[in-house]
Amino acid sequence: MSEQKDIFQIAVVGHTNAGKTSLMRTLSRDAEFGEVSPSPATTREVTSIALLADGEPRADFRDTPGLEDSIGLLELVDCMRTDRRDDGPSLIERFLGSSEAGGRFSQEAKSIRQARVADLVLYVIDARDRILPRYLDEIELLTRCGRPLLPVMNFVSDESNRAEEWREALARLGLHAAASFDTVVYDVEDERRLFEAMSVLSEPHRKAIDALIEDRTQRRVRSIKRAAHAIAELLVDASAYVVPVEPAGEQDDSSEDRQRVLEAEQVLQAALRKHERLTHRAILAAFEFTDDDTDAALLECTQGRLGIDLFSTEALKQSGVGATAGAAGGAATGAMIDLALGGMSLGAAAGIGALVGGLLGSTAGQGRRLYRRLRGGDELRAGDATLQVLLARSLDLARGMCTRGHAATRRIAVRELVLKDDFLKETLALLRRARSHPSWSRVDRTGSENGARTALIRRIAKLVRTRIEA
Ligand SMILES: Nc1nc2c(ncn2[C@@H]2O[C@H](COP(=O)(O)OP(=O)(O)OP(=O)(O)O)[C@@H](O)[C@H]2O)c(=O)[nH]1
Ligand SMILES: [Mg+2]
């Protein structure tokens, strides 16, 4: 536990299961902090974490055990009054010095002790709950601690929340400032408003809070930039990637030809699947989720939208490419992989094949094979449909991460974003430049720096960023 004297001290208190430890996790961007569980009385000891700005600790948040028997405790504290002028803090001190603080109310005493010495007390509320007498008694006890008190309503993204009822009840108790902050469904604006409300109640620590707000704003911008860059890199790598098809021998018939294409197709699919997974990890890392969180989160994804195979009709449909897939005869790979014969697209090569065949008086197929041998081998590459699916899925993930608190324990909420036509067209047009540079691709290999590649990635990342933020 950090023991710096003049650092801003915040006690995080409240009823058991209200989400105190979850709040600590999300504010500190540390999904490993403490223990979070749906069963009550999970946190048994006070634990602290320092929030940093520019690498310096600015505020010390203390997680505390949940208040379980506030009704019993308030009765006890009331009985400790010996003079009608005894004020709240003196009654609280009396309780903390009593044997009851080490006995029946030992858990409550740990929280109350922190609330008594903190510069600010955050009272975490499960805003779905009705306003029960035990909550009113919790507030009364905390008010008696004599420190600035800020209620923080958690679970506000739940439609059944009673935030308005809570606000009214809190106002009746003289608590006119209350913050809303869902620890699981993260909202960057709510976080800023929470810090601002803290700042109003803790004037001497305004500078520290301003530094935290600034730090978080910058981190947000950085996260989105990094995610956009990872997506742009994925798209450029996938566009530039080519898999050669083994050159056909003199005697090859068309079934062997097909077999070779099929094998190359599998190589291409496996490589792009792997590259997509790497990008998804990079997106999570951009939002400050560690490798362990990433494993858990992506594992969850495997049952959801991102778990659907990249080269499936389902993935095409989900990414709004359904019509294209249908046009290609229903087979997903037909729409997703381009077979370039001797360096040109299938359509153009079929024409050339017919032309060569016609000239030699043989069939288009024979002509095509001959032409191919003259030009060198065939190759496979990702079609526009694949690029569109890669873009749609990675954008969905990045947008999902924008609203994922570090307290989230469930699967990532991936919502489908309908890609705007002009954005899609512009991105695909830019990607065409990568098509003629197979050496730019980092799929399955590392590559040396290349100015034109970097410039293209930057341009695409800028476009992608606007969609993450949209
Ligand atoms: N959906 C949702 N779940 C939440 C939210 N906050 C907390 N939870 C869940 O509620 C349960 C309790 O959260 P904790 O953070 O452990 O609560 P606590 O106040 O620290 O509880 P104790 O340590 O037992 O006093 C966990 O299962 C959390 O995942 C929220 O904002 N939304
Ligand atoms: Mg806890």
**Domains of the chain: residue spans and CATH:** 8-201 (3.40.50.300), 223-342+377-469 (no CATH)
Contact criterion met (CB below 8 Å) for 148 and 157: no
Starting from the CA of residue 182, give the closest ligand: 1
Q: What is the pTM of this model?
A: 0.83
Q: Residue 465 to residues 38, 111, 227, 312: CA-CA distances in angstroms?
A: 36, 43, 8, 27
Q: Is the distance from the beta carbon of residue 123 to the nearest atom of ligand 1 less than 6 Å?
A: no
27, 33, 36: which to mutate for ligand 1, most atoms within 8 A of CB?
36
Q: Is 121 helix (H, G, I), strand (E, B) or coil?
A: strand
- Of the candidates 35, 53, 52, the one whose C-alpha atom is nearest the C-alpha of residue 44 is 35
Starting from the CA of residue 20, give the closest ligand: 1
**Cβ of 97: how many Cβ atoms within 10 Å?**
10
Q: Is the distance from the beta carbon of residue 40 to the nearest atom of ligand 1 less than 6 Å?
A: yes
**What phi and psi, each to the nearest 5 degrees, are found at residue 289?**
-95, 135
pLDDT at 357: 47
Q: Hunting for tokens 């999904």 — which residue is that?
A: 31
Strand partners, 339: 380
Q: Is the distance from the beta carbon of residue 43 to the nearest atom of ligand 1 less than 6 Å?
A: yes
pLDDT at 2: 44
User: 88-96 and 133-144 are packed helices; what angle lies between their axes, rounded to 10 degrees?
Assistant: 100
Cα(288) to ligand 2 centroid in Å equals: 22
Cα(166) to ligand 1 centroid in Å equals: 18
Cα(154) to ligand 2 centroid in Å equals: 13
Query: Which residue CA neighbors atom 7 of ligand 1 most closely?
Result: 19
Cα(96) to ligand 2 centroid in Å equals: 21
Cα(212) to ligand 2 centroid in Å equals: 23
Dihedral in degrees, nearest 10, Cα atoms 447, 452, 453, 455: 130
Could you identify the atom of ligand 1 that is nearest to the CA of residue 18?
19
**Cβ of 54: how many Cβ atoms within 10 Å?**
9
Q: Is the distance from the beta carbon of residue 31 to the nearest atom of ligand 1 less than 6 Å?
A: no
End-to-end CA distance of the chain, in Å? 40
Rounded Cα distance between 423 and 197, Å, is 39
Q: Is the distance from the beta carbon of residue 122 to the nearest atom of ligand 1 less than 6 Å?
A: no
Query: Which residue CA neighbors atom 31 of ligand 1 most closely?
Result: 155
Cα(342) to ligand 1 centroid in Å equals: 60
Cα(168) to ligand 2 centroid in Å equals: 27
Adjacency order of strands within the sheet including 378-382 = 242-245, 378-382, 337-340
Starting from the CA of residue 409, give the closest ligand: 1
Cα 243 to the center of its chain, rounded Å:
33
pLDDT at 331: 44
Q: Is the distance from the beta carbon of residue 269 to the nearest atom of ligand 1 less than 6 Å?
A: no
Cα(141) to ligand 2 centroid in Å equals: 19
| pLDDT tens for each residue of the chain, 470 residues long | 444 558 999 999 999 999 999 999 999 999 889 989 888 889 999 999 999 998 899 999 999 999 999 999 999 999 999 988 899 999 999 999 999 999 999 999 999 999 999 999 999 999 999 999 999 999 999 999 999 999 999 999 999 999 999 999 999 999 999 999 999 889 999 999 999 999 999 999 999 999 999 999 999 999 999 999 999 999 999 999 999 887 666 555 667 777 888 888 899 999 999 999 899 889 999 999 876 666 666 655 544 566 678 888 777 777 777 554 444 434 445 567 776 654 444 445 455 545 544 554 556 555 555 555 555 567 889 999 899 999 988 998 898 888 888 888 766 656 666 778 899 999 999 999 999 899 999 998 887 788 999 999 999 999 999 999 87
Q: Is the distance from the beta carbon of residue 41 to the nearest atom of ligand 1 less than 6 Å?
A: yes
Strand partners, 52: 57
Residues whose CB falls within 8 Å of the CB of residue 303, separated by 6 or more in sequence, listed in order: 411
Rounded Cα distance between 132 and 110, Å, is 23
Rounded Cα distance between 282 and 233, Å, is 11
Which amino acid does the sequence have at 228?
A
Residues in the chain, total: 470
Residue 32, judged by CB atoms within 10 A of its CB (0-12, 13-18, 19+), counts as: exposed
Q: Is the distance from the beta carbon of residue 182 to the nearest atom of ligand 1 less than 6 Å?
A: yes
pLDDT at 31: 86
